[in-house]
Structure 1
């Protein structure tokens, strides 16, 4: 039954590694200032409007 211990340890390590990845992504996401977020959203909106055919623009 020793392999069960190794399997459990590997599972715990996997959960811990996933937590680290999620925490890094969250920290990176929260590092933006509100002005940076607004600017990115405006850029995306302009790109989306430019990609639409002329008949569908509002």
Structure 2
């Protein structure tokens, strides 16, 4: 029975850690202005097209 308890606690800790990571990522995204998001997307597109052109 102790094994199941340990596995359950490990599962709960994993879910909590995942929630913390998701919340932190969401806060970072919420701080971006639409112009910053647009600039980042354009930069990523330029990088991808440059890589495809090289290949």
* SS at 2:16 equivalent: helix
**Structure with more of its chain in helix, by fraction:** 2
C-alpha change, 1:46 and 1:14, in structure 2 (3 Å) is closer
Give the aligned CA root-mean-square deviation in angstroms.
2.0
- Which structure would you say has the larger RCO, counting Cα contacts within 8 Å and 6 or more residues apart? 1
Matched, 1:10 2:28: no
Figure out how many residues of one structure are paired with residues of the other and give that number. Answer: 52
The gaps in structure 2 that reach 5 residues or longer are none
Task: Tell me which structure has the larger Cα radius of gyration.
Answer: 1
Q: In the alignment, what sits opposite 2:41?
A: 41
**Partners of 1:4 and 1:41 in 2: CA distance:** 46
**Partners of 1:7 and 1:13 in 2: CA distance:** 10
TM-score using structure 2 length: 0.68
TM-score using structure 1 length: 0.66
